[in-house]
Amino acid sequence: MAFKEIKTEELNNNVFGDIGKKWMLISAQKPDGSINTMTASWGAMGVLWNKNVFFCFVRPQRYTHEFTEASDKISISFFGEEYRDALTLCGRKSGRDCDKISLAGLTPFAENGNVGFKEAERIIYGKKIYAGKLDPKAFISEDIEKHYNGDYHTVYICEIEKIEEKE
């Protein structure tokens, strides 16, 4: 399938539904060309520092963390409901132990250091502009800590470089 580039202003989707309900894959490529991906249902998009950005969160024990730390590019990919099982597999299996991308039946490709998938409906390519570990001392709401066992996410803020949608 072919993709067409759209402008950020043309993005017409409900990010709450796309991220929180449909899920996404966070992907990155190491300098040696190897790639990894993981399923996520936490994230955000918006404007920060006069830039169109997305936020994604990766726990330090996830294999994908090695990739997001090693690259200055991160992509997020969104899929149709027919790929729910593939996204479930990519969330449950580790690329350390198996080739989960192949097991999920996905076809990755690299573009300017970013990773996409031929099966995706939309791919958002980003360049990291901030990376930092969440600080539990900064949690104001008492119910946040229940999501952690000392394994606080690294938050990545990425400037959106390009958005592609399936034609």
Span 14-37, average pLDDT: 94
55-to-16, 43, 48 alpha-carbon distances in Å: 13, 5, 10
What is the pLDDT at residue 66? 97
Q: Which domains does the chain show, CATH number per domain? A: 3-166 (2.30.110.10)
- pLDDT-derived band at 44, boundaries 50, 70, 90: very high
What is the pLDDT at residue 1? 60
Q: In the chain, pLDDT over 70 holds for what percent of residues?
A: 99
Report the C-alpha gap between 137 and 145 in whole angstroms. 10
Q: Which residues contact 92 (CB under 8 A, 6 or more apart)?
A: none
3-state secondary structure 56-91: EEECCCCHHHHHHHHCCEEEEEECCHHHHHHHHHHH
pLDDT tens digits along 52-108: 999 999 999 999 999 999 999 999 999 999 999 999 999 999 999 999 999 999 999
pLDDT tens digits along 132-165: 999 999 999 989 999 999 899 999 999 999 999 9
What is the pLDDT at residue 15? 87
What is the pLDDT at residue 99? 95
Report the C-alpha gap between 20 and 15 in whole angstroms. 8
